[in-house]
Chains A and B, each alone.
Chain A
Amino acid sequence: MAVATVAERREALTGFAVAVFRVDELVRAAARSVGADGLGLHVVDTTAPDSASMLLFDGGGARVMEAMGVAAPEGRFGLVQTSETVLGGRSWAVTVFAGDMFERAGRFLLPYAALAVGLIFTGMLAAYFAVVRGRGRRVEALVALRTVQLTQAQAQLERLAETDALTGLFNRRGIRRQAELELELARAEREKRSFSLTIADLNDFKQVNDTHGHNAGDDVLRGVAQALKEATRPYDSLGRWGGDEFLVVIPGATEREAMTVAARMEAAVSALRLASLGRTVPARISVGTATAVPGAGMSLDALIEQADASMYRAKRGRKDRAVERSGSRRVGVETS
C-alpha cells in the first residue's frame, strides 16, 4: 500500500533510522581525500540565522581549528571560494580560502627572487663603481704625494745646486741668491747704510796640495770653512767663492766693522791645527775687505773686485799684514 499522505505516513511509522555524524570529521575526510594543502575551510549551517559556524582548517598546515561563531576569513590575497551543499534539508555554506601554507607552497617565491636578484645586481654595480671611484681617489692621492716628493726633491736639488759639496757652505751661485747681493746693495744705498764684504784666500794652498795631497787640501778647505763660519755672525752670509777663496757678506757693516770681522776670520784660521796623514798642515789666509757707502753708486762687481784686489795686496804683504782693506782708490767716503 502506497503511503501518500502525512496521516498515512504517521500511521505507518514504525521507527527511525538515525545516523549521528561528526560534521567536522565528515568535512575533514573530504579534505584529506583531495590533499589540498594550504587551503582553509570554513563551514556554516545557513539554514537558520543563528546556526553554528565552524572553522575547520585555517590553511596553516596540519593544525585544525574548531570554533563556534567564527566568521569566514578573507583569505590570503583575497582568494576565497564559497559553495553550498545540502545535508538532510539543511544548507551548509562551505568556504574555501587560501591560508598561509598556500602562500608558502613556493607559489610566490619567484617575485621575491626577481627582486632579490635585481637588488643584488644593483648592489654589485654600486660596489663596482665605488671601487673604481675609490681607486681613482687613491691614484689622485698618490699623484699628490708624488708631487710633494717631486717638489721636495726639486728643493733638495736647488739646495745642492747652491751648496758647495766639500765645505757645506754656499757656492758662488748660492751666496749670490741667498745673500741677495744686488738687492742688499741697493737697499743699503737706499737706506744710506754701509755694505761690506770680505774675500779670504788660502795662502800657499797649491803647496799644500802638492806636498800633502789633494785629500789634505780638501781637509784644509773643510777646516777653514768651519773656522770662518764660527768667526762670522749668524746674519752674515758665508760662501765658497771659488777654489780656495771664501766670500763673506756683512750687511750694514762699516769699513771698521768689516776689518774687525776680517781680523777675526784670520785669527780663527791661524788658530787651526789641521792634521793629515799624521802631519800638521799649515793654514793661513789673506783677507781683503771692501765697503760701499751711501751715494757712491758702486756696483756689486766693482765692490767684489775691490775686495779681491785688497785681498791680493794683503797676500803680497802677508808677512806684515794678513788683512788688507780696499785702498787702491777711494771707495765711498772711506779711504785706505
Chain B
Amino acid sequence: MVVGVGVSIVAYEVVYARESETARNAFEREAEDLSQAVTLSVREASETVRALQNFFTATGAPDEEAFAIFAFRELQAHEGLESLEWIPRVPAAERDEFEAHAQSEGQTTFSVRVAPRDEAQPLVSGRQEFFPVRFRSSRTDSVVVQPTVDQGIVEAADLGVGLGLDLGSYAAPLEALEQARDTGMLIATAPTPLVEVEGGNWGADLCAGLQQRGGGIGSGGDGGGGDGGGAS
C-alpha cells in the first residue's frame, strides 16, 4: 500500500515537472505574442495621430465635414480610439474673431471657454493664446472626454460635446501640447480615468503639433520619428 502510494506520488512529480516545462514554453510563446500585439496596437495608435496630422497637412484649411468623414473612418478602424480632435492655436488678440468665424460656420453657440478653477489642478492663467477644441468626433456623443478628473471636473451638460473648451487652461494637457509643439514628436498624457456618463475607463491624449504649410518639423517622434506637418 505504502509502496503504491509512493510510486503514485513519484509518478505525479515526474509528470508534473514535464507538464510544467511544457506549460512554461507555451506561456512564453503566448506571452510573447500578446506583448507584440500590444506593441502593435500602440504603434497603430501613433499612426492614427500621424494620419490625422497628415490629413490637416493635405487638406490645408480644415473642413468640419471632411474632418468628420476622416474621423469616422478612423474610429471604425481602431477600437481603442475614443475621439479625434482639432485644437487650433488662437492668440488672445484673435479670440473674438475666431469665435465669430466658428459661429458663422454653423457652431452658433461656440465660444472659447476656460475651465473653472480646481484646487487639485490649478489652472494656467495669464496666457496669451488659447487651444480650444474646434472639431471633435467621438465614438459616442454621450461621452465627454475632457477634462479628466485629475484636471478638474466639468459637468458634461455644461460642455456640450466639449467644443470650445480650452485645453491650454489645464496644466497637464498644456504641458503635453507644448512638448509636442517644441519637439515635433507625438506626446501622450499619462493614463487617467475618463469622465463618462457611466462606467470608468482609462484615457490618454496623444498630441501632434500642426505647423504652417511648408514648415518642416524636426527629427524625433514616437518610435518612428516625427513627421512634418503643415497648416493653413
Report which A residues bind B (CB closer than 8 A): 1-4, 6, 8-10, 12-31, 33-34, 36, 39, 41, 43, 45, 47-48, 51-52, 54, 66, 68, 77, 79, 81, 83, 85-90, 92, 94, 96, 98, 102, 107-108, 110-112, 114-115, 117-119, 121-122, 125-126
Contact = CB atoms under 8 A, between A and B. Distances in A.
Contacts of B167: 18
A92 B190 contact: no
A22 B26 contact: no
Nearest to B213: A14
Contact of A17 (B32, B37, B40, B207): B207
A107 B22 contact: yes
A28 B42 CA distance: 11
A18 B89 contact: no
A122 B8 contact: yes
B87 interface: yes
A87 B80 contact: no
Contacts of A23: 80, 191, 201-204
B38 A27 contact: yes
Contacts of A22: 80-82, 194, 201-203
Nearest to A75: B27
A21 B52 CA distance: 14
Contacts of A12: 211-212, 215, 231
Contacts of A96: 30-31, 34-35
A93 to B, nearest CB: 11
27 contacts: A3-B228, A10-B181, A10-B182, A15-B231, A17-B55, A17-B87, A18-B49, A18-B206, A18-B207, A19-B83, A20-B81, A22-B82, A22-B201, A29-B79, A30-B41, A34-B37, A39-B30, A39-B34, A48-B190, A66-B202, A79-B23, A81-B31, A83-B35, A87-B46, A87-B222, A88-B176, A88-B222
Interface string B80-107: 1111111111000000000000000000
B85 A54 contact: no
A24 B42 CA distance: 11
A4 B220 CA distance: 12
A9 B180 CA distance: 10
A79 B24 contact: yes
B48 interface: yes
Interface in B162-192: 167, 176-177, 179-182, 184-192
Contacts of B209: 9, 13, 16
A16 B180 contact: yes
Given A17-B56, A111-B12, A111-B19, A3 B215 contact: yes
Contacts of B35: 81, 83, 85, 94, 96
B80 A15 contact: no
Interface of B: 1, 4-5, 7-9, 11-16, 19-20, 22-24, 26-28, 30-35, 37-42, 45-46, 48-49, 52-53, 55-56, 78-89, 131, 134, 138, 145-146, 167, 176-177, 179-182, 184-194, 200-212, 214-218, 222-223, 228-229, 231-232
Given A10-B182, A25-B80, A118-B11, A102 B201 contact: no
Contacts of A25: 79-80, 82, 201
B216 A3 contact: yes
A79 B202 CA distance: 27
A21 B82 contact: yes
A24 B202 CA distance: 6
